[in-house]
Amino acid sequence: MYNDEVMDRYQNPVKNGKMENFDVKTDGASTTCGDKIILYIKTDGKKIEDMKWQGEGCILSIVSTDLFCENAIGKEIKDLKEQDDLAFVESFPVKISPGRINCVMLPLRTFRRGTKEK
Amino acid sequence: MISSYGKKEDFPIFKKKVNGKSIVYLDSTATTQKPKQVLDAIVNYYEGANANVHRSVYKLADEATEMYENSRTNVGRFIGADSNEIVFTRNTTESLNLLSFTIGESLKRGDRILITSMEHHSNILPWMRLEERGIKLDYAGLDGEGHLDIEDMKSKLKKDTKIVSVTHQSNVLGTINPIQEIGKLAKDNGSTFIIDAAQSVPHMPFRVREEYDFVAFSGHKMLGPMGIGVLYGKYHLLEEMPPFNRGGEMIKEVDFHRAVFEDPPIKFEAGTPNVEGAVGLSAAIDYLKKIGMEDVRRHEKYLTSMTLKNLDGMKNVTYYGPRDVEERGGVIAFNVRDASNLKKNLENKNVKVDRVYHSHDIATFLDDRNVYVRSGYHCAEPLMRTLNLSGTARASFYVYNGDDDVKAFISSLSEI
């Protein structure tokens, strides 16, 4: 449906699953299309030690969430939160049409909401 | 194609090429494309008769008022109503909100409103707002194929049910509801009967009947411009209702602390109306009449039946709503299962077989092939909850669609 990189990750996500010893748990939903994710974040207060997700959604939101969790490890919360929306969408492995930007943005928006106090 | 009218040549948008190829427009349930005759009527109005209506005494204003009122007469004739029973609104949503803020306001704590589980949000939210005042909203359920469960409707029709408001045709399932029968039930119960006809007036012959108190529909779903809608109401009911919006045009006399309102329908048309919209809608009705509404319906049945037959042969596609095209309109909601997972499952036992593609992914896939379908909840979230679905893709037809569109749709879908 999309390219192999996207489809492989959709069918075999690497960060999908529940985390027991999380520091932050936050959920996000795209109400117009039914995408729902939970992010589990393990952090030393500054950097991300690990991140996992659970949920349902379209291919773009699932793949974006899985990539986001994997790429976040070792990064600072502040840098992740403050990254540019457009650059984030453009870094996705396939070109995104305007109508699908919300799908790709779901993990970043969810992360920002969950780490507002951090 | 059904006749010389309804041909793609009449619709300038179909000259458009995307990536060098024609577009396959299958989203007429959301909005329809506009024929040149409608676009010309709007331009002619602005070039030859534009002035504010119902106000000034000079010739141009008379001409504008005449065009506006002739449009109202044309709309009335199209559904068998008198012109003074036709209120111009922005759309179906506004027509139904008008009713909520007028007859809805007269309901008392404990009164009930009966709708169905297949309503569009526009026939849910205007009634839901009244729940804050202790008015109960009941939903009649559906059977397994997506027909309205009439027995359930009967059981929910109580003596306190003051309003029954039902969609004539579901914008998701395509189900055509037996509105004459429902209207009779409502009338026998002494309830006001309202029809959301947004998906029926554009697609089939429709005449108002004694049981129908109010009928709402939109111009843009029947080849007309956006921003013009219709509320039909029995004249004596419109007369008894308070106004909705207040301001210019809708008054006979204004004193410092007192006003006398105009008679219906003008009473409900505060402010400068959408004259170009009314003129465009009237031209759209002329266009549809040249085809004939029986033929519009016949054509859609033909396209729907051809599509369903093809979908029946595709193992990874599920579609919703009645199987019999006599009981449904030209709107097909569907989902596609990820067939590649079947293979993966054989290789890797822990992959779920029955993964359904999200409807947005299906729509994006088809978009890459210039096939335009809707995806998501279709403004009918309670229906999606009833069906336990997180959305569907949806293809829908109108007069300008032909065998070529069905073929393009099916062949693109089979590539998933």
How many domains does chain B divide into? 3
Q: What is the pLDDT of residues B109-118, one digit of tens each?
A: 999 999 999 9
Contacts 24+ apart (CB under 8 A), B244-248: B244/B97, B244/B98, B244/B101, B244/B102, B244/B268, B244/B270, B245/B270, B245/B271, B246/B270, B247/B271, B248/B272
Among A7, A32, A58, whose Cβ lies nearest the Cβ of B358?
Answer: A58
Q: What number is the average pLDDT over the span B95-105?
A: 98
Q: Do B324 and B245 reside in the same domain of the chain?
A: no
B416 with A1: Cβ contact below 8 A: yes
A33 with B351: Cβ contact below 8 A: no
State residue B44's pLDDT score: 98
Query: What ipTM was predicted for this assembly?
Result: 0.86
**Kind of pairing, strands B112-116 and B161-167?**
parallel
Q: Has residue B345 got a pLDDT over 70?
A: no
Q: Distance (Å, rounded) from C-alpha A1 to C-alpha B262?
A: 58
Among A11, A35, A97, whose Cβ lies nearest the Cβ of B344?
Answer: A11
Q: Which H or E run includes B181?
A: helix B179-188
The strand ranges marked E within B61-100 are: 86-89
Q: How far is A82 from chain B (nearest CA, A)?
A: 28
Q: Which residue of B has its CA nearest to A12?
A: B351
Is B134 inside any structural domain?
yes
State residue B353's pLDDT score: 46
B360 with A100: Cβ contact below 8 A: yes
Is B226 inside any structural domain?
no
Q: For residue A56, report the phi and psi dihedrals to the nearest 5 degrees.
A: -135, 150
Active site residues of B: 379
Q: Is A7 on the interface with B (CB under 8 A)?
A: yes
B295-321 burial by CB neighbour count: b if 16+ within 10 A, else e?
A: bbbebbbbbbbbbbebbeebebbebbb
Chain B neighbors of A11, CB-CB under 8 A: 340-341, 344, 351
Q: Do B306 and B401 reside in the same domain of the chain?
A: yes
State residue B52's pLDDT score: 94
Q: Has residue B348 got a pLDDT over 60?
A: no
Is B3 inside any structural domain?
no
Q: Do B309 and B272 reside in the same domain of the chain?
A: no
Whole-number percent of chain B with pLDDT over 70: 96
Q: Which H or E run includes A5?
A: helix A4-11
B247: alpha, beta or left? (left if phi > 0; alpha if psi -120 to 50) = left
Whole-number percent of chain B with pLDDT over 90: 89
State residue B267's pLDDT score: 97
> Which parts of B212-358 fold into alpha helices (H)?
235-240, 275-291, 293-312, 340-347
B340 with A33: Cβ contact below 8 A: no
Interface of A with B in 19-48 (CB under 8 A): 32-35
Q: Which residue of B has its CA nearest to A59?
A: B361
Residue written as token pair 């049910």: B161
A59 with B357: Cβ contact below 8 A: yes
Hey, where are the domains in chain A? 4-114
Q: Has residue B332 got a pLDDT over 70?
A: yes
Q: Which range has the worst mean pLDDT, B55-59, B159-163, B300-304, B387-391?
A: B387-391
Q: Do B209 and B307 reside in the same domain of the chain?
A: no
Q: Do B351 and B298 reside in the same domain of the chain?
A: yes
Chain A neighbors of B375, CB-CB under 8 A: 33
State residue B389's pLDDT score: 87
Q: Has residue B276 got a pLDDT over 70?
A: yes
Average pLDDT, chain A: 93
State residue B191's pLDDT score: 98
Q: Distance (Å, rounded) from C-alpha B414 to C-alpha B416?
A: 5
Q: Give the architecture-level CATH label for domain A4-114.
A: Alpha-Beta Complex (3.90)
Determine what percent of chain B falls in helix, strand and coil, rounding each to the nearest 5: 40, 20, 40
Q: Which residue of B has its CA nearest to A60?
A: B361
| pLDDT band at B354; cut points 50, 70, 90 | low
Q: What is the pLDDT of residues B34-77, one digit of tens each?
A: 999 999 999 999 999 999 999 889 999 999 999 999 999 999 99
Is B363 inside any structural domain?
yes
Chain A neighbors of B391, CB-CB under 8 A: 33-34
Chain B neighbors of A32, CB-CB under 8 A: 376-377
Q: How far is A75 from chain B (nearest CA, A)?
A: 30
Chain A neighbors of B344, CB-CB under 8 A: 11
Q: What is the CATH number of the domain that holds B316?
A: 3.90.1150.10
State residue B342's pLDDT score: 53
Q: How far is B411 from chain A (nearest CA, A)?
A: 15
Q: How many CB pairs under 8 A join A and B?
A: 48
Which residues touch B6 (CB under 8 Å, ≥6 apart)? B291, B296, B299, B399, B400
Is B43 inside any structural domain?
yes
Report the 10 Å Cβ neighbour count for B293: 16
Chain A neighbors of B367, CB-CB under 8 A: 97
Radius of gyration of chain B (CA): 23
Q: What is the pLDDT of residues A51-105, one digit of tens each?
A: 999 998 899 999 999 999 999 999 999 999 999 999 999 999 999 999 899 999 9
Q: Is A8 on the interface with B (CB under 8 A)?
A: no
Q: Has residue B349 got a pLDDT over 80?
A: no
B390 with A56: Cβ contact below 8 A: yes
State residue B87's pLDDT score: 98
**Kind of pairing, strands B136-140 and B371-372?**
unpaired
Which of B185, B218, B251 is at the close of a domain? B218
Contacts 24+ apart (CB under 8 A), B248-252: B248/B272, B249/B54, B249/B55, B249/B273
Q: Which H or E run includes B406?
A: helix B403-413
**Full residue range of the structural domain in which residue B144 is found:** 92-218
Q: Has residue B352 got a pLDDT over 70?
A: no
Q: What is the CATH number of the domain that holds B131?
A: 3.40.640.10
Q: Has residue B6 got a pLDDT over 90?
A: no
Q: What is the pLDDT of residues B356-409, one digit of tens each?
A: 899 999 999 999 999 999 998 888 989 988 988 888 999 999 999 999 999 999
